[in-house]
Amino acid sequence: MEWNGKRYQAAREPGLKLVLDAGFSCPGRCTFCDNAAFHPAYSTSDKSIRQQIDEGIAFHAARGRTGGPYLAYFQSYSNTYASLARLKEAYGEALAHPAVEGLVIGTRPDCVDAEKLDYIASLGCARMEYGIESFRDETLLRVRRGHDSACAERAVRETAARGIPVCGHFILGLPGETRETLLEDVEKINALPLESVKFHQLQLLKGTPMAAEFAARPGDFVRWTLDGYIDLLCDILERLRPGIAVGRLAASVPPRYLAVPGWGVKASEFSRLLDRRLAERGTWQGKAL
């Protein structure tokens, strides 16, 4: 079976995302994190949300993507880590923009509660993206995540129970994790009411504690070659239940942020290489189930 011309179910967002930085923070900083590496230049907290939306629309237009509909994507840091009143202010400002038709809220599993989820559900136009990263409690402790896997599972279930679409983010290559442990974790992904998932390879960013940890103990990390990572993704997709859409399979940041060089492959080329490998293996999403 193929979906959307691919051998996996590719996620289709209901609009173009406008990345926003609303000035939220996090309860702690993971050892791999540098938010500056992951958002466009127009998205800075010194600008109003409306200004960021207008500049985001222009950003897309300069790349030939026009007409919307547009989704306000609260991406930077943990976008439920504030009082309910502050969330209503930020989300309300975004939804007041005439071009915005919905919200995508990126946050952590330990930064939601029943009251916040009830409010988000009442909007009727919001999607949640949780940074789960790993189901291994020892990994979460090592990277200073600040919550365990049970917290992530509970947040996903409680969010989905309110009818809010949920996406889970996972990093492949965190210290101490192997191909075998990552494939075991796919069973846990399959058991959760996730609408979509995003995977990406670990990227070691300059100045982060994880980059220093890698320099001191490189043997604790599996550093995937491009070919090896594509084969890992094929193994994961074979075990991923149909019905879970795949929103991302790799990521890149500007080379100036990297402590260890990346693969130097553009997203379109990466997608082509993955599709070719899946075809060579005669496999597709869910084949091994």
Q: What is the pLDDT of residues 53-103, one digit of tens each?
A: 999 999 889 888 887 789 999 998 999 999 999 999 999 999 999 999 999
What would the pLDDT profile of 190-206 be if each residue is shown by its tens digit? 999 999 999 999 999 99
Confidence at residue 5, expressed as pLDDT on a 0 to 100 scale = 67
Whole-prediction pTM value? 0.94
Q: Where does the pLDDT of residue 6 fall: very low under 50, low under 70, confident under 90, or very high at 90 and above?
A: confident
Tokens 């990345």 belong to which residue? 19
Distances (CA, A) of 137 to 88, 131, 143, 145, 174: 33, 14, 10, 9, 12
Residue 129 token pair = 């993206």
d(CA 189, CA 179): 15
Whether pLDDT at 138 is above 80:
yes
**Residues 132, 170 contacting (CB under 8 angstroms):** yes
Residue 11 inside a domain? The answer is no
Average pLDDT over residues 34-59: 88
Provide the CATH number for the domain around residue 275: 3.20.20.70
Asked whether the bond before 255 is cis by omega within 30 degrees of 0, the reply is no
Domain count, the chain: 1
Alpha-carbon torsion, ordered 191, 35, 205, 187, to 10 deg: 0
Give the three-state DSSP class for 221: coil
Angle between helix 114-123 and helix 84-95 axes, rounded to 10 deg: 20
Q: What is the DSSP string of 16-60?
A: EEEEE--S---SS--TT--GGGGS-TT--TTS-HHHHHHHHHHHH
Helical residues (DSSP H) of the chain, grouped into ranges: 49-61, 84-95, 114-123, 137-142, 149-161, 179-191, 209-216, 226-239, 267-281
Domain encompassing residue 62: 16-281
How high is the pLDDT of residue 107?
Answer: 97
Is 199 within a domain? Answer: yes
1: in domain: no
Residue 288, domain member (yes or no): no
The answer to whether position 286 is within a domain reads: no
> Does residue 27 fall inside a structural domain?
yes
- Is residue 269 domain-resident? yes
| Per-residue pLDDT at 225 | 95
Taking the CA of residue 273 as centre, how many other CA atoms within 13 Å lie in the half-sphere pointing to its CB? 17
